[in-house]
Amino acid sequence: MNNKSQNKVLKFEPRKKRRLKSVDYMSPEKKELLRQREKQKKLGQGRNRTIVVAGIFFGLVALVAVIDFLIRR
């Protein structure tokens, strides 16, 4: 048998890149958790946008009311 190819020793060089490749595996539980987080994030963004739009609307209504009050004075 060819023992030289089987008993290869890697030299330790701490500043070099790793030789081992990382696996891009994600468990089904983690995928489901990430999916739920994304869903909650989208719902939260929708609520924030609704609050901002409502605030702008009420601000415009207040501005029109103040201008109307000043004109009728």
pLDDT tens track, the chain, 73 positions: 555 557 788 777 777 666 667 778 889 999 999 999 999 888 877 778 888 999 999 999 999 999 999 999 8
33 within a domain of the structure (yes/no): yes
Domain that includes residue 47, residue range:
26-73
> What pLDDT is stored for residue 35 in this prediction?
95
Note whether residue 1 is domain-resident.
no
**CA separation for the pair 60, 7 (Å, rounded):** 78
Report if residue 59 sits inside a domain.
yes
- Total tally of structural domains belonging to the chain: 1
Among 54, 32, 36, smallest CA distance to 44 is for 36
Give residue 13's pLDDT.
76
The pTM of this model reads 0.45
How many Å apart are CA 61 and CA 16, to the nearest integer? Answer: 64
In the prediction, which pLDDT does 53 show? Answer: 93
Answer yes or no: is 53 within a domain.
Answer: yes
What three-state secondary structure class fits 2? coil
Would you say residue 9 lies in a domain?
Answer: no
- Does residue 5 fall inside a structural domain? no
Q: What local confidence, expressed as pLDDT, does residue 4 receive?
A: 54
Is 68 a member of any domain?
yes
